[in-house]
Amino acid sequence: MAQSWRPGVRATDTGTLPPLPALPQFPGMRGYAELRAAIRDLGFPHAAGLLREPARRQAASGVFGTLPQAETDDGFRVLDGLWFPGRGGLWQRVDVPYVRRAQDAWRTSADPRALTAAAVVDTLETLVRDDPMGLRRVVLWELCCLLKDRGPEPGPAAGAATTADDVAALGVHRSEARLLAAAVDAGFPADGPVRRAAEAVNDIWPGRRLRAAERVAEPLPRAPHDHVLARLLGSLRARSTAVARLAARAGALEARGDWRGAATAWLGALRQAEDAPETRTGLLRAATGLADATAVPGRAPTTVAVDDQRVRLTWRPPRAAASVTYQVLRFPDGAPERATELGGVTGGLTTADARAPLGRSLRYAVVPLRGGRVAGVPLVTAPVLIAPDATGLTAVPVPDGVRLRWRPHPAATAVRVRRSTDGGAPRTVRTSEPDRLLDVPLPVGTHVYEVTCGYPGGGPDGGTAWSPGTRVTARVEEWPAPVTELTAHRAGDRVRLAWSAPERGESTLVAWTAGPVAPGADVSARFAALGQGPLPARELEVTAEPGRRLRLTAVSALGERAVAGPSVVVEHARPVGEVTVRRTGAGRAEVRFRWPEPAVLARVAWDDGVRGEERSVARSTHRAAGGSVTVDVPDAACAVTVTPLPRPDAVAVPAAPGRAALSAAPPPPPPAPPAPVPWWRRWLRRRPAGAGASP
């Protein structure tokens, strides 16, 4: 057994093996996955196949994949360096000259894969030049993976022990086949997370992506026996420790208020772990504190200008500005961990942000870069709040107050209105509509209104952020008090109107030709256009001409101001004329008449002395039928009456109805007499039976 073997003592048991070789625990090169794929695309199971000259490969093709004899074994050795058999039974070590000869042989070969193979061998030459044992490590790793997975060709069942024949089939010299097979079975990992991590860790580390390297290296053993992997993981842990130490030092400096020292410490940590989010967050936080602590009005290294909803940023270059580019970050004030990068930033000293979120207190950080790495402490701006104000703010005096109108920004979710009177302290006015306010009653004086728009989530503790506000000044004058009562009484064809006296101002009665106005409405312009003065009395008798409707409104006036009071409608319909009626069928008659303007309804009724019916007809129906109405009538004679109907809200002067008589329906015609019987039919009926028969 392996435990009984001692150096210098020949083993008596042929099954006894010397100590197993230490296998590599990772390939130890950057870009291993691409190299392996290129070798497989060329048709080779591992990199050693590329290192044989094309002629030698053809001569040895009968050896690979078979069970060679010892005297004809043309395999390579890999346990103690990478060796190929040479002339005269000498072994040739695979070094840089050997790899170059193999590359030259591929370049002069007629093999269709020659150029691609030469390019892959060039990669192997770089590997040998950087590490003399690097190529041996890669070949041995490939062999172990193939043996553990039983290679690309169908082999033994999964879980079976690896034999020397399996190893020799891959081109390994039989003198090392048993040891390599035993070593693979003893502890080489199967395909899984450990092997994937081992093949990928060199692609990330050494490098600046510390956190990514830590995640990839997590499945690897904590104390590897592979000294190269141990050195690699040791450097990774040392870097993690250094970054943690710098972060702790930066946190202590922040607690003492030393923002410059904290920013320097965070910068050192970020340069060693560029993918660590806490280092970037800490650097932005310290740079923000440094900018606030050293801010001098008018001398800030960064300038922010807000034009509507576009933020323009300008900054000064550092002292050593050669080969420096810039990265601009935007983050909410107090939340540097939510920083996002602005695109379109070149090597210039200005940029613009056209998509800044509204209602958020933002900061911008200009990060200098050199060679893609952070080259200094970022320049952080003061807080920038983009909260557009309302537009189109107007104030119109109304009786006892002011009417405001504005257009809020579509993104605003709240509107706040504050009013200050005659220079006093502002007070909030409640609004029921997002774009208007009727502020009544108000005392006489000058009032200043400030309208601000609110945006959610941008204020302190995530509350509402308010815009700077837009202002308008309104002057409230003394207005007349509206008339409170207006009565109307009809006396024949005349109407007597009476109204109460207003508390302020003088009153009169105005006939409006336009539409109605609500009580209390401002009618100053309309009243002034009429040029009508107040009446000395508070009573008025009016006569409405037939065919007219009057809308009379009590108006109070005080100076140039006029206010509407209650209104009354006086209507005198035109008499119904030209009434005609005719029957159009059984139980139907057409009534034609001239419409009694300005009525909107008319009643059409018939009465035969025993019973009667009536129907209300709209003016639109009468016009659509060409000035006629079709009604149901009895067959007996009856009288048809058309009466205008006044508006329900009007004081109506009665109008004469129109009448017409409808005669009774004519009686039905008598039945027609029977048709005469022809003479020959009468003769046939009188002829005796059997007359005219043949004898």
Using an 8 Å Cβ cutoff, are 576 and 658 in contact?
yes
161-184: per-residue pLDDT in tens? Answer: 889 999 999 999 999 999 999 999
536 confidence band (pLDDT: 50, 70, 90): low
- Pick from 129, 132, 143, 134: nearest CA to 39: 143
The token duo for 32 is 């291993």
Question: To which residue do tokens 């073997």 refer?
Answer: 5
The contacts of residue 508 (CB under 8 Å, 6+ apart) are 532, 533, 534, 535, 554, 555, 557
CA distance 200 to 548: 99
As a whole number, mean pLDDT of residues 234-251 equals 96
Percentage of residues in the chain with pLDDT exceeding 90?
54
Question: What's the pLDDT score for residue 339?
Answer: 94
415: how many CB neighbours lie within 10 A of its CB?
21
Question: What's the pLDDT score for residue 508?
Answer: 87
Q: Residue 393 pLDDT more than 80?
A: yes
Question: What's the pLDDT score for residue 361?
Answer: 87
Angle at which helices 193-204 and 227-255 cross, to 10°? 60
The contacts of residue 475 (CB under 8 Å, 6+ apart) are 397, 445, 446, 447
Q: Residue 58 pLDDT more than 50?
A: no
The contacts of residue 559 (CB under 8 Å, 6+ apart) are 477
CA distance 676 to 422: 114
624-655: per-residue pLDDT in tens? Answer: 999 999 999 998 999 999 999 988 888 888 88
442-481: per-residue pLDDT in tens? Answer: 998 999 999 999 998 776 677 888 898 999 999 998 888 8
CA distance 263 to 260: 5
Domain locations along the chain: 16-189, 205-294, 296-386, 391-476, 486-572, 577-662
Question: What's the pLDDT score for residue 99?
Answer: 95
As a whole number, mean pLDDT of residues 418-429 equals 90
Question: What's the pLDDT score for residue 14?
Answer: 54
- Any idea which fold 296-386 has? Immunoglobulin-like (2.60.40)
CA distance 465 to 452: 10
CA distance 549 to 272: 92
Helix (H/G/I), strand (E/B), else coil: 152: coil
How far is CA 188 from each of CA 26, 175, 395, rounded to the nearest angstrom? 11, 20, 85
Bridge partners (DSSP) listed for residue 631: 589
The token duo for 354 is 């056209």
100: how many CB neighbours lie within 10 A of its CB?
14
CA distance 281 to 160: 53
User: Which DSSP category does 81 fall into?
Assistant: B
CA distance 48 to 30: 18
Question: What's the pLDDT score for residue 63?
Answer: 44
In whole numbers, what is the pLDDT of the chain averaged over residues? 87
CA distance 441 to 434: 20
CA distance 399 to 406: 20
The contacts of residue 31 (CB under 8 Å, 6+ apart) are 123, 203
How would DSSP label each residue in 202-233? HHHSSSS-HHHHHHHHTTS-SS-S-HHHHHHH
CA distance 404 to 452: 13
Beta-strand pair 628-632/588-594: antiparallel
Using an 8 Å Cβ cutoff, are 94 and 83 in contact?
yes
Helix (H/G/I), strand (E/B), else coil: 594: strand
Phi, psi (rounded to 5 degrees) for 283? -65, -45
The contacts of residue 103 (CB under 8 Å, 6+ apart) are 118, 121, 122, 125
Most confident of 56-60, 522-526, 574-578: 574-578
Lowest mean pLDDT among 249-253, 294-298, 594-598, 610-614: 294-298
Question: What's the pLDDT score for residue 62?
Answer: 44
Q: Residue 121 pLDDT more than 70?
A: yes
The token duo for 630 is 């079709």
Lowest mean pLDDT among 30-44, 65-79, 208-222, 515-529: 65-79
67 confidence band (pLDDT: 50, 70, 90): very low
Q: Which CATH number fits domain 486-572: 3.30.420, 2.60.40, 2.60.120, 3.40.50?
A: 2.60.40
72 confidence band (pLDDT: 50, 70, 90): low
Percentage of residues in the chain with pLDDT exceeding 70?
91
Most confident of 190-194, 296-300, 553-557: 190-194
Helix (H/G/I), strand (E/B), else coil: 314: strand
CA distance 615 to 581: 15
pTM for the full predicted model: 0.67
Using an 8 Å Cβ cutoff, are 86 and 95 in contact?
no
As a whole number, mean pLDDT of residues 561-567 equals 89
CA distance 418 to 466: 13
Q: Residue 55 pLDDT more than 70?
A: no
61 confidence band (pLDDT: 50, 70, 90): very low
Question: What's the pLDDT score for residue 535?
Answer: 65
Lowest mean pLDDT among 63-77, 247-261, 282-296: 63-77
CATH of domain 391-476: 2.60.40.10
User: Where does residue 404 rank: exposed (0-12), middle (13-18), buried (19+ CB within 10 A)?
Assistant: buried
CA distance 644 to 646: 7
User: Which DSSP category does 674 fall into?
Assistant: P
Beta-strand pair 373-374/561-572: unpaired
Dihedral sign for Cα atoms in the order 126, 130, 131, 134: negative
Q: Which residues of 352-385 are buried (b: 16+ CB within 10 A; e: fewer)?
A: bbeebebbbbbbbbbbbbeeeebbbbbbbbebbb
Q: Residue 1 pLDDT more than 50?
A: no
The token duo for 330 is 């935007």
Using an 8 Å Cβ cutoff, are 519 and 566 in contact?
yes
As a whole number, mean pLDDT of residues 496-505 equals 88
Question: What's the pLDDT score for residue 156?
Answer: 46
Using an 8 Å Cβ cutoff, are 473 and 438 in contact?
no
Question: What's the pLDDT score for residue 652?
Answer: 86
- H/E stretch holding 199: helix 193-204
Higher model confidence: residue 501 or residue 451? Answer: 451
Higher model confidence: residue 545 or residue 402? Answer: 402
Assign domain 577-662 to its CATH architecture.
Sandwich (2.60)
Question: What's the pLDDT score for residue 151?
Answer: 44
Question: What's the pLDDT score for residue 460?
Answer: 67
User: Which DSSP category does 70 fall into?
Assistant: G
Same fold, 296-386 and 486-572: yes
Q: Residue 528 pLDDT more than 70?
A: yes
Which residue blocks in 473-617 are alpha helix, DSSP H?
524-530
